[in-house]
Amino acid sequence: MTTLVMGVVNVTPDSFSDGGRWFSPGAAVAHGLDLVEQGADILDVGGESTRPGADRPIEEEELHRVIPVIRELSRAGVRVSVDTMRASVAAHAVDAGAAIVNDVSGGLADPDMARVVAETGVPFVVMHWRGHSHQMQDRASYDDVVGEVCRELGERVADLAARGVRPDQLILDPGFGFAKLAEHNWSLLAHLDAVQALGFPVLVGTSRKSFLGALGVRGGGPPRPPSQRDVATAATTVLAGIAGVWGVRVHDVASSIDALRVVAAVQASR
């Protein structure tokens, strides 16, 4: 199986990775088309920053940010995912052409999300989640992070199935950086096989996360800025590709495309 590359299109003024560089609809669409030109298979369009401590936009503002971008990218023939925790935004996004709903709360933030996903029938990315941005790092406590993440994802799968979501719609995301400390992220990355053993496609989203920025920083200094984390991100893409995951969600598409080409070349030579 070829690992897909999902390019990130943040339509927010406060993204941790780009600081709002693509905030206007025109800039977001142009950036998305550039990522497709670089090789992205899917574009993940989001209007709410989920960095630790971020405030949520009101529903109307989120719709204003993402719907025009999704509509234009879809018209251009791009496979688009909407990154949202709101059922209403998901429904409008699918109407505008989105083919995937990516909910970092896995349907927990909005009890109506399961109904929308079940009715539309689109693939649904279910991420491991323990709370909104202002509180999630307070909940980064595990005795066995791999076992607990897998168990909690399994609980989400069972709940969504009970609400009418088909199993073949589901894609699981272990939630790197969400209610996770660095050691939790490394453990999950080392045990992607355990997440895959749940029997669903897996999406890996390590791109530019702070645990990568902390690599090589001496004396407990601040992590390197997000723009300097793409090489480390590409290394995680190699690991994800070797593990055979369904997809990687990245900001710098070109480096991950090259990383997956290396994986494919090695595997083809075995």
- What pLDDT does 33 receive? 97
Query: How many whole angstroms separate alpha carbon 18 and alpha carbon 12?
Result: 9
Of the residues 156, 249, 261, 270, only one is catalytic, namely 249
Token representation of residue 240: 């994800």
Token representation of residue 205: 């989203």
Are 62 and 49 contacting, i.e. CB atoms less than 8 angstroms apart?
A: no
- Check whether domain 4-268 has CATH 3.90.650.10, yes or no: no
* Residue 54 or 188, more confident: 188
Strand order in the sheet with 42-46: 170-173, 124-127, 100-103, 80-83, 42-46, 4-10, 247-250, 203-204
pLDDT tens, 231-258? 999 999 999 999 999 999 999 999 999 9
- Using pLDDT thresholds of 50, 70 and 90, give the confidence band for residue 12: confident
CA 55 to chain centre: 19
Q: For 202-225, what is the mean pLDDT?
A: 92
Q: In the predicted model, is pLDDT for residue 98 greater than 70?
A: yes
pLDDT tens, 106-150? 999 999 999 999 999 999 999 999 977 666 677 889 999 999 999
Q: For 61-68, what is the mean pLDDT?
A: 95
Query: How many whole angstroms separate alpha carbon 143 and alpha carbon 17?
Result: 30
Query: How many whole angstroms separate alpha carbon 78 and alpha carbon 85?
Result: 22
Q: Poorest-confidence range of 3-7, 24-28, 72-76, 83-87? A: 24-28
- Using pLDDT thresholds of 50, 70 and 90, give the confidence band for residue 50: confident
- Our answer to whether residue 180 is catalytic in this structure is no
171: which residues sit within 8 A by CB, 6+ positions away? 100, 123, 124, 125, 126, 200, 201, 202, 203, 246, 247
pLDDT tens, 13-37? 755 455 455 668 898 999 999 999 9
Query: How many whole angstroms separate alpha carbon 189 and alpha carbon 182?
Result: 11
Of the residues 209, 224, 229, 261, only one is catalytic, namely 209
- Our answer to whether residue 209 is catalytic in this structure is yes
Q: In the predicted model, is pLDDT for residue 230 greater than 70?
A: yes
- Using pLDDT thresholds of 50, 70 and 90, give the confidence band for residue 56: confident
Half-sphere exposure of 121 (CA within 13 A, CB side): 0
Q: In the predicted model, is pLDDT for residue 99 greater than 80?
A: yes
Q: Name the one residue in this structure whose structure tokens are 């609809």.
A: 25
- Using pLDDT thresholds of 50, 70 and 90, give the confidence band for residue 102: very high
Average pLDDT, the chain: 93
